Amino acid sequence: MFTPKGIIVPIITPMNDDESFNEAQFRIEINRLIEGGVSGIFALGTNGEVYALSEEEKLRVIKVAVDEVKGRVPVYAGTGCIGTKETVEMSKKAEDLGVDALSVVSPYFVSVSQDDLYRHFSAVAKSVKLPILLYNMPARTGNNINYTTVRKLVAENPNIVGAKDSSGNFDNTLRYIEDTGGQVSVLAGNDSLILWTLLAGGTGAISGWSNVFPKLICSIYDYWAKGDFEAANKAQRAIRPFRDVMALGNPNSIVKRSLNLLGHKVGPAREPASGIDPKIDAALKAAFEGYSE
């Protein structure tokens, strides 16, 4: 059975100055992150600016990711769309391109009930053979996937193998862990909760900051796996200065801006969320003074 675990990086999508996809830099980032110890490459997440990419661009990003990773770690692809039909079609295309697993965010913009979410995710799960991660991010989608819905989906769809909880509500994460009877891998979607999710029975994290400091973020998991909780907690606390800066703007734009300031030529975030702000730059540089890789 496919088990999502460890630190999975929701890889950024590098852009040229004209905001076109920078394939060469994407390949460089993939190799840098794998060398940094990540357990998976997740293309087309929030940090990948999936919301700003056309379908053609999404499919190109997936194709390049699969080609460059070359089976060294699992490749996850974000295929969630607003409509069920569109999500099913994108999921099938990602499966055909050879990804190892799918991450499916709940529908966004439209207000839906838990019954609606159940039908949506069930339809997607039945349309593909790939393992599926449910992606809960209510602050962006407006829709929280209730733990009772997760429990029902997991019980009826064996290829739903995990859930990423980016709600920021740790009790929600706990209910995912407690109410699925160990049948599902629960991953932290909030970098501040990586260690605490692991200690509660989770299996890892999908960490935005692992784009920037993969060795540091991976060390939280590695120390935890070795039973060195003091070192794991020290590594967890070390990311607080970076997390604090994210309150100043669009979080994933700030992650991308961090990479540029550290010399990784990943280009701008797509407008209207470029992330370029003197106050943010100053705050990031101050945070970087305490850590480097």
For 32, 68, 196, 260, the CA distances from 28, given in Å and listed in that order, are 6, 9, 32, 14
pLDDT of amino acid 241: 95
255-266 pLDDT, tens digit per residue, is 999 999 999 999
Q: Which residue ranges make up each domain of the chain? A: 6-237
Q: Tell me the two tokens of residue 207.
A: 């960490």
Q: What is the mean pLDDT of residues 221-233?
A: 98
Q: Is the pLDDT of residue 289 over 80?
A: yes
Q: How much is the pLDDT for 117?
A: 98
**CATH class of the domain at 6-237:** alpha beta
Say what the pLDDT of residue 177 is: 96
Structure-token match 């809960």, residue found? 136
Please tell me the predicted confidence (pLDDT) of residue 21: 98
pLDDT one-digit tens code per residue, 121-150: 999 999 999 999 999 999 999 999 999 999
Question: Cα(280)–Cα(181) distance, rounded to whole angstroms?
Answer: 42
| pLDDT at 53 (0 to 100) | 98
Window from 61-65, 77-81, 181-185, 246-250 with minimum mean pLDDT: 181-185
Q: Whole-number mean pLDDT of the chain?
A: 96
Nearest alpha-carbon partner for 53 in 28, 97, 22: 22
User: What pLDDT is stored for residue 183 in this prediction?
Assistant: 86
Instruction: Give me the active site residues, please.
Output: 135, 164
Tokens (6 digits) for 110? 């439209």
Question: In angstroms, rounded to a whole number, what is the distance separating the alpha carbons of residues 33 and 27?
Answer: 10
pLDDT (tens digit per residue) in 77-112? 999 999 999 999 999 999 999 999 999 999 999 999
- What per-residue confidence (pLDDT) applies to 182? 81
Structure tokens that stand for 147 in this block: 């733990």
The per-residue pLDDT for range 11-62, each reduced to its tens digit, is 999 999 999 999 999 999 999 999 999 999 999 999 999 999 999 999 999 9
Question: In the structure encoding, which two tokens stand for residue 85, read together?
Answer: 């039909």
Q: Please report which confidence band the pLDDT of residue 291 belongs to, taking 50, 70 and 90 as the band edges.
A: confident
Is the pLDDT higher at 120 or at 181? 120
Determine the average pLDDT of the residues in 1-8.
95
- Write down the pLDDT at residue 62: 98
Q: Which amino acid is at 142?
A: G
End-to-end CA distance of the chain: 34
Q: Residue 272, preceding bond cis, omega within 30 degrees? A: yes
CA–CA gap between residue 67 and residue 71 (Å, rounded): 9
Relative orientation angle of helices 114-127 and 147-156, to the nearest 10 degrees: 30
pTM of the predicted protein model: 0.96
Q: Write down the pLDDT at residue 6.
A: 98
